[in-house]
Chains A and B, each alone.
Chain A
Amino acid sequence: EIVMTQSPVTLSVSPGERATLSCRASQSITSNLAWYQQKPGQAPRLLIYGASTGATGIPARFSGSGSGTEFTLTISSLQSEDFAVYSCQQYNNWPPTFGGGTKVEIK
């Protein structure tokens, strides 16, 4: 199965700053990658699919890029509600697999 590796594990960012999260696949997944946001005690929320397409209702400050094995989620200007755990998921191969997550915390 495809292994998804996220870095860093924890990212400390000040409100208003830019955050850049990485996700790497163990083999090419073309653009079949999704990003999710998860807050404590809440369900994951779809942010990005197709590596770069924003899900319905997701603010424009969230953007995704990449293809093949290297992907990036960028939050252009962190708001207080953006401090959460972010996970990537590949759906190019079966079974679907997730990265271990990146926790974005307040600096």
Chain B
Amino acid sequence: EVQLVESGGGLVQPGGSLRLSCAASGFTFSSYPIHWVRQAPGKGLEYVSAISSDGGSTYYANSVRGRFTISRDNSKNTLYLQMGSLRAEDTAMYFCARRDITGYYSYWGQGTLVTVSS
């Protein structure tokens, strides 16, 4: 069974940092690009960042470029999102999602909540 389990969310002050993790199991982790997608309270889903299967290529939404860093450790089947210079508008549930070859998301984690507030 494919599983994606996020962790690392919490309450952080504006300007602070946080590292999210996404532990994968049930599939060959190193074969798939993985994305971070977030959902602000009461809002729609928003693509945040992506990483290629080997970690060699990374991509970011304009809203987080320069502040967030995505990485992965294929030996540990784990994805990361290092978040810095956090703003109130980064408050959201953060999901990791497995992207299939054509571009849709076939599996999602349950999410981890990030709240940026003083």
Contacts and interface: CB of A to CB of B under 8 A. Distances in A.
Most buried by B among A32, A50, A91, A92: A91
B68 interface: no
A48 B104 CA distance: 9
Contacts of B61: 95
B103 interface: yes
B47 A97 contact: yes
Interface in A30-84: 32, 34, 36, 42-46, 49-50, 55
B45 A44 contact: yes
Contact of B105 (A42, A46, A97): A46
A100 interface: yes
Interface string B44-77: 1111000000000001010000000000000000
A89 B39 CA distance: 14
How many B residues touch the partner, as a band?
20 to 34
Contacts of B110: 42-43
B105 A100 contact: no
Contacts of B80: none
B105 A34 contact: yes
B103 A91 contact: yes
B104 A34 contact: yes
A41 B97 CA distance: 16
Given A87-B45, A95-B59, A43 B102 contact: no
Nearest to A95: B47
Given A43-B109, A89-B104, A99 B95 contact: no
Interface of A: 32, 34, 36, 42-46, 49-50, 55, 87, 89, 91-92, 94-101
Nearest 6 CB-CB pairings of A with B: A91-B103, A34-B104, A43-B108, A100-B44, A98-B45, A49-B104
Given A32-B102, A43-B111, 6 more contacts: A42-B110, A43-B95, A43-B108, A46-B104, A89-B105, A100-B44
